A and B are shown apart, each in its own frame.
Chain A
Amino acid sequence: MNSSSGKSYMSTASSSVIWKAGGDVVADQFPAGLRVLVVDDDPTCLMILEKMLKACQYNVTKCNRAETALSMLRENRNGFDIVISDVHMPDMDGFKLLEHIGLEMDLPVIMMSADDGKNVVMKGVTHGACDYLIKPVRIEALKNIWQHVVRKRKNEWKDFEQSGSVEEGDRQPKQSEDADYSSSANEGNWKSSKRRKDDEDENDERDDTSTLKKPRVVWSVELHQQFVAAVNQLGIEKAVPKKILELMNVPGLARENVASHLQKYRLYLRRLSGVSQHPSNLNNSFMNPQDATFGPLDLQALAATGQLPAQSLATLQAAGLGRSTAKSGIPMPLVDQRNIFSFENPKLRFGEAQQHVNNNKQMNLLHGIPTTMEPKQLAGLHHTAQSMGNMNMPVLSHGSQSSQNNPLLMQMAQPQARGQMLNDSTVGLAPRLLSPMGQPMLSNGMATNVSTRNGVPENIRAPSYNPVSQTSSMLNFPMNHTSELPGNSFPLVSTPGISSLAPKVAFQEDVNSEIKGSVGFMPSYDIFNELTQHKPQNWELQNVGMMFNTSQHSNSLRGNLDHTQSVLVQQGFSTGQNRNSTVISKAMFSAGDSTGHVNAQNGNQHLNSLFVDNTVRVKSERVADAAPANLYPDHFGREDLMSALLKQQDVIAPAENNDFDFDGYSIDNIPV
């Protein structure tokens, strides 16, 4: 969908969708009919609250146990708009419940307690509660709780729109079909230009900044890479826009651009790192401090390793950031960029998945199959990829290089439904990766990787690939990482599960599904990188696409899989977070769907095809996860997204089953 139209459409759609989700709630009657779930072990309080909420004309469901509430929420992901929970409960701590809800369903949660101590209230804030009520709760306080729902939605849309707008500004006719995703569009444009020449891209960027009446900056992968490099050089704490601007030394870039981008980036990082790190953080309660460090670090580490081009890192981060928004409702600043990826992916997911899938197929082939793409092939791909949507292409190129990764990627694609999410995210990354990576990749491990597989060269075809490219891009990205590790690139891949998967995946032309799967694939890829990176963490690829499913699968499958969104993972370099935190799915369906039960991760964890056998435990980076997966869901607040999501759900559902089999999963499950 067009970003512009999509945006507006989205917002309206989302609003209507949101309210409709309630069932009979109609936007104009809002806030009447708001679906509230209230959880409190005190029966007196519960009854009083229920009565009060009903008096406010809300649709109330009461529950006296946290576990019951959680299962209710899980069963009916779109069934509630807001949750009110007591802090002190016998079966589960209220804050824990808050975390779960935030991760899995991304619903606004209000905490309440007779305890008005500052510490407790602060705890509520840090865990991401959107409000804290002191008992006795008055009806007046309840009358306004709808504001939290609106605010959250608004933030999600805003991110989405942001990305869209950016895209529109620069969008040129995207080759890739994923015009829906503004961000992706940007990427696409960017990519295509990249195809031509890097400097052309720069020119484009410059042009964009200089010629546009509004100084709209397209944060291309390269640019973001530069940004990230500058930030890292300064130190995230000390990074101020002015200095970053100086370090970046990009003509035509204004301090304001950098400032807003930095803001988004920070949110993204916070998201990755989890709430624990930053009190005001998003609700990513699941993110542990470790994650936080992980996310950014991983990316950086990855970047450092060389495989993961800074851009990719940036991309991932961006994606992650984008994603995090969904979760925490924080606008994903990076989303714009990532959105591109994510948009593309989501797009793929939703409807275009099919189309994309085809493309992906090619791409996937590329990805999954360690095509021994020669650098020039890559270049070629690169170009084609660009046309494809840039995102994808770059990925391809990478893929070729990291052909090894491809298999992984491919595998990921397998979990199609899942992959989608990943794809999106990966795609986002891919483009980025491509640019930086494409080149370096070629030189680096790509070569090593490339040799491994070959089935995929076709992906290089890029053009058709675009849609796929998204995913592939994502995939490639991880691949790049692997490329770093000479030969390791697919150590993961080599894992029996993976390697086998990859080839299969590649072949599975289901690219469509693969795309999704690829998304998931990516994660594995990341895993790879991770492994190579030296942090072999269990990065369980979670099927990204399968957000819904993934949660199920991922949980079951991997058990430990960190559901860090596979996509993200891929992108983010899959910091092997514990799968437990997979919240990927969440990200995906920020639209309100409950993304599978994802571990702490931003919920974006796309369960990438877990194909990555346990062997490939890659530490999925939260960042990655968050970004890609989140990106989509959040941004996609639009209607398309919603519908896509819904569709996805359906699609994913079947995939889920696939994902389920962890081992043979990638291949067997992939619906061809």
Chain B
Amino acid sequence: MDRYGMQNQIACIRSLFDQGYLDEQFIQLEELQDDANPNFVQEIVTLFYTDSTRLIQNIELTLNSRPINFSKLDDYMHQFKGSSSSIGAKKVTSECAVFRQYCAAGNAEAYIKQEHAILRKKLEFYFQMMGQAAVAQTT
């Protein structure tokens, strides 16, 4: 990779960290990557993305159903939180936590939906960034 490429990569990753999207868990993942698994981080991110997309879909379904099954929602969020924290998706994790609190409170579905939408948007953006980061890493 040329110098610029590397710089871009670094900048990309750093931005993610700076914005609080990623935390040091991600660094740990990076450290796990080695010659034997050169694409480890990318694999993980991809896996995460796939899994969380599925999860989000489930969450949406739950949100759309009436009445809202908050416990199920809570489960999903818990799962989501676990996944995202494992890869170091800090912001997503914290959003999940907040979301869960709302679920616990059984708040108005509208609110939850709203929160969820926000979360999702963030997540998608996040994925984009991570995808970039992962790609940048592997190059």
A42-B32 CB under 8 A given contacts A48-B87, A135-B85, A136-B88:
no
Whether A647 sits at the interface, judged by CB under 8 Å, is no
Contact: B48 with A138, CB < 8 Å?
Answer: no
Contact: B82 with A139, CB < 8 Å?
Answer: no
> Which partner residue on chain B sits nearest A45 by CB separation?
B86
Contact: B51 with A44, CB < 8 Å?
Answer: yes
Contact: B75 with A51, CB < 8 Å?
Answer: no
A46-73 interface code vs B (CB 8 A; 1 in, 0 out): 0110011001000000000000000000
Report which of A45, A47, A51, A55 forms a contact with B82, defined as CB distance below 8 A.
A45
Contact: B82 with A114, CB < 8 Å?
Answer: yes
- Provide the bound-state CA to CA distance between A115 and B74, in Å: 12
A55-B32 CB under 8 A given contacts A42-B51, A43-B47, A47-B43:
yes
Whether A672 sits at the interface, judged by CB under 8 Å, is no
A114-B32 CB under 8 A given contacts A47-B47, A136-B88, A138-B25:
no
Interface size on B, residues (CB 8 A): 23
Chain A nearest CB, measured from B45 CB (Å): 9
Report which of A41, A114, A139 forms a contact with B85, defined as CB distance below 8 A.
A114
Chain A nearest CB, measured from B75 CB (Å): 7
Chain A nearest CB, measured from B83 CB (Å): 5
Chain A nearest CB, measured from B10 CB (Å): 23
- Provide the bound-state CA to CA distance between A136 and B88, in Å: 8
Contact: A88 with B32, CB < 8 Å?
Answer: no
Contact: B85 with A115, CB < 8 Å?
Answer: no
A-B contact pairs, 17 of them (CB 8 A): A43-B47, A44-B47, A44-B48, A44-B83, A45-B82, A45-B86, A47-B47, A48-B87, A51-B37, A51-B40, A88-B75, A114-B81, A114-B82, A114-B85, A135-B82, A136-B87, A138-B25
Whether B29 sits at the interface, judged by CB under 8 Å, is yes
CB neighbours of A138 from chain B (8 A): 25, 28
B67-89 interface code vs A (CB 8 A; 1 in, 0 out): 00000000100110111011110
CB neighbours of A150 from chain B (8 A): none
Whether A113 sits at the interface, judged by CB under 8 Å, is yes
| Chain A interface main SS type | mixed
- Provide the bound-state CA to CA distance between A137 and B82, in Å: 10
Whether B44 sits at the interface, judged by CB under 8 Å, is yes
Interface residues of B in 21-54 (CB under 8 A from A): 25, 28-29, 31-32, 37, 40, 43-44, 47-48, 51-52
- Provide the bound-state CA to CA distance between A43 and B51, in Å: 7
- Provide the bound-state CA to CA distance between A199 and B11, in Å: 87
> Which partner residue on chain A sits nearest B24 by CB separation?
A138
Chain B nearest CB, measured from A183 CB (Å): 46
CB neighbours of A113 from chain B (8 A): 82
CB neighbours of B78 from chain A (8 A): 88, 114-115
Contact: B28 with A139, CB < 8 Å?
Answer: yes
> Which partner residue on chain A sits nearest B82 by CB separation?
A114
> Which partner residue on chain B sits nearest A137 by CB separation?
B86
Contact: B85 with A44, CB < 8 Å?
Answer: no
Chain B nearest CB, measured from A117 CB (Å): 11
- Provide the bound-state CA to CA distance between A52 and B87, in Å: 12
Interface residues of chain A, those whose CB is within 8 Å of chain B, are 41-45, 47-48, 51-52, 55, 86, 88, 113-115, 135-139
Contact: A52 with B32, CB < 8 Å?
Answer: yes
Interface residues of chain B, those whose CB is within 8 Å of chain A, are 25, 28-29, 31-32, 37, 40, 43-44, 47-48, 51-52, 75, 78-79, 81-83, 85-88
- Provide the bound-state CA to CA distance between A88 and B83, in Å: 12
Report which of B28, B31, B40, B86 forms a contact with A44, defined as CB distance below 8 A.
B86
Chain A nearest CB, measured from B139 CB (Å): 21
CB neighbours of A43 from chain B (8 A): 47, 51
Contact: B37 with A135, CB < 8 Å?
Answer: no
> Which partner residue on chain B sits nearest A40 by CB separation?
B82
Contact: B88 with A139, CB < 8 Å?
Answer: no
Chain A nearest CB, measured from B72 CB (Å): 11
Chain A nearest CB, measured from B62 CB (Å): 15
- Provide the bound-state CA to CA distance between A113 and B32, in Å: 21
Further 8 A-B residue pairs, CB within 8 A, beyond A42-B83, A48-B32: A42-B86, A45-B82, A52-B28, A88-B75, A88-B79, A114-B82, A135-B85, A139-B28
Residue among B25, B75, B82 with most chain A CB within 10 A: B82
Chain A nearest CB, measured from B37 CB (Å): 7
CB neighbours of A136 from chain B (8 A): 25, 85-88
Chain A nearest CB, measured from B73 CB (Å): 14
A48-B85 CB under 8 A given contacts A42-B51, A114-B78:
no
- Provide the bound-state CA to CA distance between A86 and B43, in Å: 21
* List of 10 A-B pairs having minimum Cβ-Cβ separation, nearest first: A114-B82, A136-B85, A44-B48, A136-B25, A136-B86, A44-B83, A45-B86, A114-B81, A51-B32, A135-B82
Contact: B28 with A47, CB < 8 Å?
Answer: no
- Provide the bound-state CA to CA distance between A48 and B86, in Å: 8
CB neighbours of B52 from chain A (8 A): 44
- Provide the bound-state CA to CA distance between A134 and B95, in Å: 18
Chain B nearest CB, measured from A62 CB (Å): 13
- Provide the bound-state CA to CA distance between A52 and B48, in Å: 16
A48-B29 CB under 8 A given contacts A43-B51, A88-B75, A136-B88:
yes
> Which partner residue on chain A sits nearest B45 by CB separation?
A44
- Provide the bound-state CA to CA distance between A42 and B77, in Å: 12
Contact: B51 with A48, CB < 8 Å?
Answer: no
CB neighbours of B75 from chain A (8 A): 88
CB neighbours of B85 from chain A (8 A): 114, 135-136
CB neighbours of B48 from chain A (8 A): 44
CB neighbours of A47 from chain B (8 A): 43-44, 47
- Provide the bound-state CA to CA distance between A139 and B86, in Å: 11
Contact: A135 with B32, CB < 8 Å?
Answer: no
- Provide the bound-state CA to CA distance between A47 and B40, in Å: 10
Contact: A44 with B44, CB < 8 Å?
Answer: yes
- Provide the bound-state CA to CA distance between A47 and B42, in Å: 12
